[in-house]
Structure 1
Amino acid sequence: MAVSQDQFERVVRDMPGFGRDPASIRRRIEAMEAVLEGLFVIPGTNRRVGLDSLVGLVPVVGDLATAAMGAWMVWEARNLGMSKWQLARMAGNVGIDTLVGAIPFAGDVFDFLYKSNTKNLRIIRKHLDKHHPSTATIDA
């Protein structure tokens, strides 16, 4: 059964979290940040680790893959109408994470310590709280 473009867009629009509204974008970005930076806690510590640190262990390909995911967060921020300065800061965070993370061994430690996606999420949340206060969520 073929699905028309209109039908597809209507289904996507009606699905929670897939819309183009600021609240849906916020949920997607928060979910991506959680996957990249806080997938699980290292036993015996309070340190959260995600795909950014784990996939970054794979030379070159891992760093490029996590850079693409971080760049997607910047793209979503652009769709929110964030300023060029904010977008440049976010792109800089992703760039630093990618460049330093590509250095063997030292880059892996850097990936573990430098949470660029968490920094970018903070920038996005600040923008959303100011310009789209209805998207604010209460952290329990």
Structure 2
Amino acid sequence: MPQGANNPPEILAPRTRAARGLFADENLDMLAHVLDDCFRIPGTSIRFGLDGIVGLIPGLGDVLAGLASTILVVAAWFRGVPYVTLARMLVNLGLDVVIGAVPLLGDIFDIAWKANRRNYALLTRHLHEPRRHTWRDWVFLLLIGFTVAAIFTAPLLVLAWLLGWMMHRL
């Protein structure tokens, strides 16, 4: 039907960066489900996935689960998710791998933290609201930045104190 006085122009939905194959929404949701919450402890509401099970293998388990989890981050990058969100996703993944490497307590953390569910939620939130950052994104990154700075600064302060103490003793 041609445009005219009686026929306003058609407004098309905005283009999205929908993905196919491995990076399709349903596949990413399934990956997060399998890694974080596909099993339930009978009689409880506690759910866990392969991430918690594979993490029981010392050393190798958390690395393998972390590699599988990077698929969500790569998919987010391909879809144009903002860098602040990608950084937050990487921090979620890093915490999952590093803390998850602690025997037994790390596996409990994996089950509670559910980094893949968190990252999938961040991905879908930013696909529905492109280029919109919340104050929580920035606060989270600032806290992580201060924590990393403290981790690197603390040994230097202790070393400086020890050197000063040793110099004073001599």
Same-fold call, TM cutoff 0.5:
yes
Q: Is the CA contact 1:29–1:121 (under 8 Å) kept in the aligned structure 2?
A: yes
Q: Report the identity percentage.
A: 36
Partner Cα separation in structure 2 for residue 23 and residue 39 of structure 1: 24
Question: What's the CA shift for 1:38?
Answer: 1.4
Look at both structures and tell me which one has the larger radius of gyration over its CA atoms.
2
TM alignment of 1:96-111, pairs within 5 A? 96-111=95-110
Q: Is the CA contact 2:47–2:111 (under 8 Å) kept in the aligned structure 1?
A: no
What residue identity is the alignment partner of 1:22? Answer: A
TM alignment of 1:27-106, pairs within 5 A? 27-106=26-105
Q: Which moved more, 1:58-67 or 1:103-112?
A: 103-112
Question: What's the CA shift for 1:97?
Answer: 0.5
SS in 2 for 1:59: coil
Residue 21 of structure 2 corresponds to residue 22 of structure 1: no
Please, which runs of 5 or more residues in structure 1 have no aligned partner?
1-20, 132-140
SS in 1 for 2:103: coil
Partner Cα separation in structure 1 for residue 34 and residue 83 of structure 2: 26
Q: Which residue of 1 aligns with 2:118?
A: 119
Aligned length: 111
What stretches of structure 1 move > 6 A for 4+ residues in a row? Answer: none
Partner Cα separation in structure 1 for residue 109 and residue 129 of structure 2: 32
Q: Is the CA contact 2:19–2:79 (under 8 Å) kept in the aligned structure 1?
A: no
Please, which runs of 5 or more residues in structure 2 have no aligned partner?
1-16, 131-170
Partner Cα separation in structure 2 for residue 107 and residue 51 of structure 1: 14
TM-score normalised by the chain length of structure 1: 0.75
> What do the CA deviations read for 1:86-120 (whole angstroms, capped 9, x no partner)?
11100110000000000112111111211111110
Partner Cα separation in structure 2 for residue 83 and residue 77 of structure 1: 9
Question: What's the CA shift for 1:130?
Answer: 2.3
What's the RMSD between the two structures over aligned residues?
1.3
Q: Is the CA contact 1:77–1:87 (under 8 Å) kept in the aligned structure 2?
A: yes
TM-score normalised by the chain length of structure 2: 0.62
What residue identity is the alignment partner of 2:40? Answer: V
What residue identity is the alignment partner of 2:88? Answer: R
